[in-house]
Structure 1
Amino acid sequence: MLKVSPRKGVLRFGKRGKLNPRYIGPIKILDRVGPVAYKLELPKELSNIHSTFHVSNLKKCLSDESFIIPMKELRLDDKLNFVEEPVEIIDQEINQLRQSRIPIVKVRWNSKRGP
């Protein structure tokens, strides 16, 4: 699995958001380039990124095949952020503080990971 949420100051994959996936994949390893670097077989959506990564950006994938989300089904914008759309508002409430009111809304999102 390839890490797509960047560290502080690295803007390779765009900004880190609350709903963005942290890892994508599984991605096949083509070759070991050095003692701590691997060359990966990247999908066409990531063709503008160099295919060699440090081991700190990789994670071993030991999951079941049924949990894999294909890259074709994911919708990414131009900054490679995960795109989700709200389906419905489930619940609303307002928290009252001393001088302010904070609206809290529970939303059902349209996602490949489930509602």
Structure 2
Amino acid sequence: MAYQVALSPHLSNLHDVFHVSQLRKCTSDAAHVLEPESIELRENLTFQVTIVRIDDTSVKKLREKEVQLVKVVWERAGVKEHTWELESEMRKDYPELFSGSEKLKSDLMIQI
């Protein structure tokens, strides 16, 4: 009792088989159309992301050790996103984030 749905190419990372209980009849409405965000890529297929700040810290407990995490706010093309990153990696790559001040210098940029 499942249907395979033809999805748009920009939704190719989603599983395309859905149980009938998850499906509803669609009535066409232009207001329901979502456009994917556009990203300006450089010639080497990278884009620019700016670290805004660190919002939170957390400790993830594993079986035999604890892992320190930080919640980082990133900005790309005016859109802010939050991700949890390893504190050790962030300290190594961006030591200025942890040098007493939580403010980030405006010229700090990374490429992904």
TM-score norm. by structure 1 comes to 0.32
- The structure whose residues are more often strand, as a share, is 2
Largest Rg, 1 or 2: 2
- The structure whose residues are more often helix, as a share, is 2
